[in-house]
Amino acid sequence: MDVNIRHTTDQDYPALISLYHEVAKISGGIIRTDREIDFDYISMFIENSMKKGLSLAAEIDNRVVGEIHAYTPELYAFRHMLSDLTIVVHPEFQNQGIGKTLFMKFLEIVQKDFLHILRIELYVREENSPIVKFYESLGFINEGRQKNKILNALNELETPLHMAWFNPSFNGISN
């Protein structure tokens, strides 16, 4: 299986809407529900990522099967970080190393081209221990839990962990 990793473009909106719908249908897949996935949501994170962050797509046979993105928040005080990191892999292609390949390429680009970025942040459900271990294997550290922050679609409370990765190539911020 040959996976092509590339930057996303606004031409990817239809494929990303479809991909996110598929992942949202999986219990615990992503925090958004299927009905929250629409053009506005996809265009918001792609536009933010293209302006002030990074978004990559994973393709197999010209089909988008995965995506990862994060971007710098609006506040000037947060200009040294990428936040709201989200990664999705189509259910048919999960557990085949695509997510890891996508994530490794993402971190490689940050280390090479985003020297002003010190940290990348994400949230992960505490009870999803395989994914917590996956993020830890990539160098993310657990910065704490936020008890009952998530009220899921089943009206159950979940606790996310706030995790961060620190860029070893960070060279400071210039004004």
Looking at residue 154, its pLDDT comes to: 84
Looking at residue 27, its pLDDT comes to: 77
Rg (CA), the chain: 16
Per-residue pLDDT of the chain (175 residues; tens, 9 = 90+): 799 999 999 899 999 999 999 999 987 778 888 899 999 999 999 999 999 999 999 999 999 999 999 999 999 999 999 999 999 999 999 999 999 999 999 999 999 999 999 999 999 999 999 999 999 999 999 999 999 999 888 889 999 999 999 999 999 876 5
Distance, in Å, from the CA atom of 26 to the CA atom of 91, rounded to the nearest integer, reads 8
CA distances from 150 to 35, 47, 162 (A): 17, 26, 13
Q: How many residues does the chain have?
A: 175
Q: Which domains does the chain have, with CATH numbers?
A: 4-166 (3.40.630.30)
134: β partners: none
Alpha helices, H only, 59-150? 98-113, 129-137
Looking at residue 149, its pLDDT comes to: 93
Under DSSP, is residue 116 helix (H, G, I), strand (E, B) or coil? coil
Entry pTM: 0.93
- Cα 49-158-92 angle, rounded to 5 deg: 60
